[in-house]
Amino acid sequence: MNGQMGQGIELARRTFLGKLGLGLGTAALASFGPVQAGGLADPLAPKKPHFVPKAKRVIHLFMTGAPSQLELFDPKPALTAMEGKPLPASVIKGQRYAFIRPDAAVMGPRFKFKKHGHSGAVLSEILPHTATIADELCIIRSMKTEQFNHAPAQLFLQTGFSQPGRPSIGSWALYGLGCETKNLPAFIVLSTGAGISGGSALWSSGFMPSVYSGTRLRNSGDPILHVGNPPGVDARLQRETLDLAGKLNQRRLALDGDPETASRIAAYEMAFRLQTSAPELLDFSDESKTTMEEYGCDPKQPSFARGCLMARRMIERGVRMVTIYNEGWDAHSDVVGNHQGNALKTDRACAALIRDLKSRGLLEDTLVIWGGEFGRTPMVESNPSLGRTQGRDHHPQAFTMWMAGGGIRSGMTYGATDDLGFHVVEKPVEIYDLQATILHLLGFNHERLTFAHAGRDFRLTDVHGKVIHDILA
């Protein structure tokens, strides 16, 4: 009797857990949104945000390595006057650095600056093309960050957390808005340099279903390896194979409601469509000679310019979020040569992208963001043992970014640093504030856009952040 009772209790327990698991899975699946034919929820179906958005899409030009605001956007004549002397102790206030001493000598800006446009925006001589779009920009000179090293700072800017595991801002955008394209990934990442300190965690969906992760495309050759069919596999065989896998996955999805199964189904279908859409995306034959010259783009050569033109083509095809990582701004040595070289690679294409978007009527609802993870020190870095001279160390206390389009007020410079470029003294902007503002432009109250995980609701801005209303159009 006791044995039979024990078996009955075990069966009841299994039934309860099974139904509980199905219920939780069904609830998770339902959170994906609208349902397709066949009962499958489409995790990327378009959704309505909290309010009418001013930006429908985002292009983030991420200058990884951290450009020097003192060489590009924030001239400080007082530094030139103090060159060779240490900063006052009252300014440093116990700050420690990775590669220089706090009493390192001051180094003034290495380039000349000039006002441009009706707005009078002050820009470096090594940004002549950006100068032509000065009246389209909102230049934020008062950025601050909590992170001092590259990978944590890049992660913090992209995910709101300094360690891997949180969803990126692109993932939050897809989770909240869905996507308007079925032929390309909704969130695309390009890299135009040697390597990214933060790695793939910068575009990961973290604890969200992986369908919201960014897809990294190569900037040369086939954008995605193995897109073509191997010998002996024609389109019909591939379609039949995919249909069979789809039926098996649908059966599994009906049993456990696991969102990752829905992600797998969506990924298989996207891979199939990419065989047509990816080559078409990289076919620049429909672009005019004038456009190619504007960007400074050779379609056969990988470059930042090619990436910018691809970004415009992507958003025209319904891609929601494009991030271009341009590595190489980490000027611990020879800040002059480093920034001249990087400006030469990026300046022309950035300006061309803004003009191109505007001429096509896309800039007004496309948010473009330019900047790195932090700034550079007012003091010089010279370390003979490391072969470094005339560089600048990492500086989280103050740096510059610019934004354009997508509901941003144009032709303005926002915030200010002190005379030595060390601290923000006017209208400070924290990373969480920037994130809150981006989400606001996409139509979201950043405090209400949440995802349930590990027993609590998470959000991109954690418990911080305020929208920078002064820079909104």
Between CA 466 and CA 464 the distance in angstroms is 7
Task: Give the pLDDT confidence score for residue 274 in this predicted structure.
Answer: 64
224-233, 235-244, 412-421: the lowest-pLDDT one: 224-233
Q: Rounded CA gap, 403 and 407, in Å?
A: 10
- What's residue 1's pLDDT? 42
Q: What is the mean pLDDT of residues 346-372?
A: 98
**Contact indicator for 57, 320 with CB cutoff of 8 Å:** yes
Structure tokens at 221: 């050759």
Secondary structure percentages of the chain, helix, strand, coil, to 5: 40, 15, 45
Q: List the beta bridge partners of residue 199.
A: none
Token representation of residue 166: 């949180």
Q: Which of 49-58, 300-309, 378-387 has the highest mean pLDDT?
A: 49-58
Check whether 40 has a pLDDT greater than 90.
no
Q: Please report how many Cα atoms fall inside a 13 Å half-sphere around the Cα of residue 311, on the Cβ side.
A: 36
124 strand-pairing partners: 113
Burial class (CB in 10 A: 0-12, 13-18, 19+), 164: middle
Q: In the prediction, which pLDDT does 27 show? A: 39
Q: Which of 116-120, 181-185, 339-343, 416-420 has the lowest mean pLDDT?
A: 181-185
Structural domains in the chain, sorted by start: 41-221+282-471 (3.40.720.10)
Confidence category of residue 222, pLDDT binned at 50, 70, 90: low
For residue 5, give the H/E element and its range.
Answer: helix 2-30
Considering the chain, what is the average pLDDT of its residues?
Answer: 87
DSSP state of 168: P
Beta bridge pairs of residue 391: 381
Q: Decide: helix, strand or coil at residue 189.
A: strand
pLDDT digits (tens, 9 = 90+) for 305-340: 999 999 999 999 999 999 999 999 999 999 999 999
List the single range of 25-29, 164-168, 342-346, 399-403 with lowest mean pLDDT.
25-29
d(CA 44, CA 160): 23
Out of 45-49, 58-62, 232-236, 370-374, pick the least confident. 232-236
Confidence (pLDDT) at 77: 97
DSSP assignment letter at 212: G
Would you state the pLDDT for residue 30?
41
- What percent of the chain is modeled with pLDDT above 90? 68
Two tokens, residue 426: 């006017």
Where is average pLDDT lowest: 46-55, 240-249, 285-294, 410-419? 240-249
34: pLDDT strictly greater than 70? no
Residues 467-473 have a mean pLDDT of 98
Q: Is the pLDDT of residue 24 over 90?
A: no
pLDDT (0 to 100) of residue 271 = 62
Copy the structure tokens of residue 16.
């309860």
Report for 112-126, 211-225, 250-264: range of highest mean pLDDT = 112-126
- Overall average pLDDT of the 332-360 stretch: 98
Question: Of the candidates 178, 212, 135, which has an alpha carbon nearest to the alpha carbon of residue 45?
Answer: 178
In whole angstroms, what is the distance from residue 330 CA to residue 45 CA?
Answer: 40
pLDDT at 223: 61
| Helical (H) or strand (E) element with 190 | strand 187-191
Cα–Cα distance, 243 to 301 (Å, whole number): 37
Torsion of CA 346, 347, 351, 357, to 10 degrees: 10
Q: In the structure, what pLDDT confidence band is assigned to residue 94 with cuts at 50, 70 and 90?
A: confident
Q: 141, 74 in Cβ contact below 8 A?
A: yes
- CB 98, CB 148: distance < 8 Å: yes
Q: Is pLDDT above 70 for 136?
A: yes
Look at residue 5 and tell me whether its pLDDT is greater than 80.
Answer: no
| Residues 207, 5: Cα–Cα separation, whole Å | 41
> Could you give the CA distance from residue 226 to residue 459 in angstroms, rounded to a whole number?
36
* Three-class SS state of 181: coil
Residue 69 has what pLDDT? 98
Residue 132 to residue 201: CA distance in whole angstroms = 35
Average pLDDT over residues 14-25: 40
Do 132 and 418 meet the contact criterion of CB atoms below 8 Å apart? Answer: no
Lowest mean pLDDT among 109-118, 228-237, 244-253, 349-358: 228-237
Q: What is the pTM of this model?
A: 0.86
Q: Which of the pair, 243 or 469, is modelled with greater confidence? A: 469
Q: Kindly state the percentage of the chain with pLDDT values over 70.
A: 82
pLDDT at 3 over 60: no
Strands 399-404 and 366-371, sheet pairing: antiparallel
Q: Is residue 33's pLDDT more than 70?
A: no
Distances 214 to 112, 158, 188, 203 between C-alpha atoms, Å = 39, 12, 5, 5
Average pLDDT over residues 209-217: 92
Does position 410 have pLDDT exceeding 80, yes or no?
A: yes
pLDDT digits (tens, 9 = 90+) for 140-171: 999 999 999 999 999 999 999 999 999 999 99
pLDDT bin (cut points 50, 70, 90) of residue 435 is very high
106 half-sphere exposure, CB direction, 13 A CA radius:
22
Q: Which pLDDT value is given to residue 20?
A: 40
Q: What are the residues whose beta carbons fall under 8 Å from the beta carbon of 41, sequence distance 6 or more?
A: 29, 30, 32, 33, 34, 35, 262
Which pLDDT score, from 0 to 100, does residue 277 have? 63
